Structure 1
């Protein structure tokens, strides 16, 4: 005699098990995606990457200038800066144009590497160190190539991260 209701279709059992497993995996995947998308460390990493990209570009801009396009180059300098640094560039622009046009030099910079050394996202301040290779070509003679490290202070503005200070990084042993 066959029992009624106790025989199960193995195909139906497998389908139900696979459906439950798929729903669980989808739920776990969705939760993981949501947590990753709303993780503060991901947002902080994006701010750091934005500051680094802007800092590297600004330092490169500040080390690139062609006497044949001096106004365009100085516009780039001003667009890359803010605060006292920008004010100094604007105030000294006329004298600098005369100096560069008289020297007839062309300088071009290439970023070798860069790093964010400080980042205060709330205050909108960052610091970068950028290694560059700068080539300066005078009207006569061979191009002079030098590598240097620059330290830049960045300030976040409505137009993005801008240089607010720039200087040469110390080289060698600075211990007493």
Structure 2
């Protein structure tokens, strides 16, 4: 029986085509797995919480007596639940105090971190370090640094502050 000679170019081309097909399948599967990975979705939510927490804490520590409506509207837009109710209920009295004081308060976020995130419950906590500058009508601006612990709640409008307070600094009584 006579053997037909094989074409080496055809054999190499078939091997390369099979390798390319395998690589394409592996690449497609890897992309699909990464796009539908729970860890990626959790990381995305964490980044949303961090961005919302940074902005909301900044908003609630920034206020200009010359444009109170915009500042206080920003406070209310950043909050939900009891905190939102406190801000809206006390708005008139607070507005009067700020107008009389004539101060401008500007906050800048130095750093922030998500300390807790419960996606199912729609609750999160963010620790935010701020530099707050208060400028009175007379005198030099006063700068202070502050650490705040913010509780956030997921709402139909996104993540909003549901509580805000000073974070403990240094040693605590429990130590």
**Would you say same fold, with TM above 0.5?**
yes
- Quote the residue 1:172 is aligned against: 170
**Which among 65, 70, 74 is matched to residue 68 of structure 2?**
70
**Partner SS state of residue 79, structure 2:** coil
Q: In the TM superposition, what is the alpha-carbon distance from 1:4 to its structure 2 partner? A: 4.0
Aligned residue for 2:140? Answer: 142
Q: Structure 1, unaligned stretches of length 5 or more? A: none
Q: Which runs of at least 4 in structure 1 moved beyond 4 Å after TM superposition?
A: none
1:157 aligns with 2:155: yes
Q: TM-score, normalised by structure 2?
A: 0.97
Aligned residues: 174
Unaligned runs of 5+ in 2: none
Q: 1:30 aligns with which of 28, 31, 38?
A: 28
Question: What is the match of residue 92 of structure 1?
Answer: 90
- Partner Cα separation in structure 2 for residue 96 and residue 129 of structure 1: 26
1:81-135 Cα deviation digits (max 9, x unpaired) = 0000000000000000000000000001111110111000001000000001111
In 1: Cα distance, 2:60 partner to 2:6 partner: 77
Structure 1 length-normalised TM: 0.97
CA distance in 2, matches of 1:132, 1:11: 67
- What is the rounded CA distance, in whole Å, between the counterparts of 1:38 and 1:4 in structure 2? 52
Q: CA shift at 1:3, angstroms?
A: 3.7
Select the residue among 15, 18, 42 that pairs with 2:16: 18
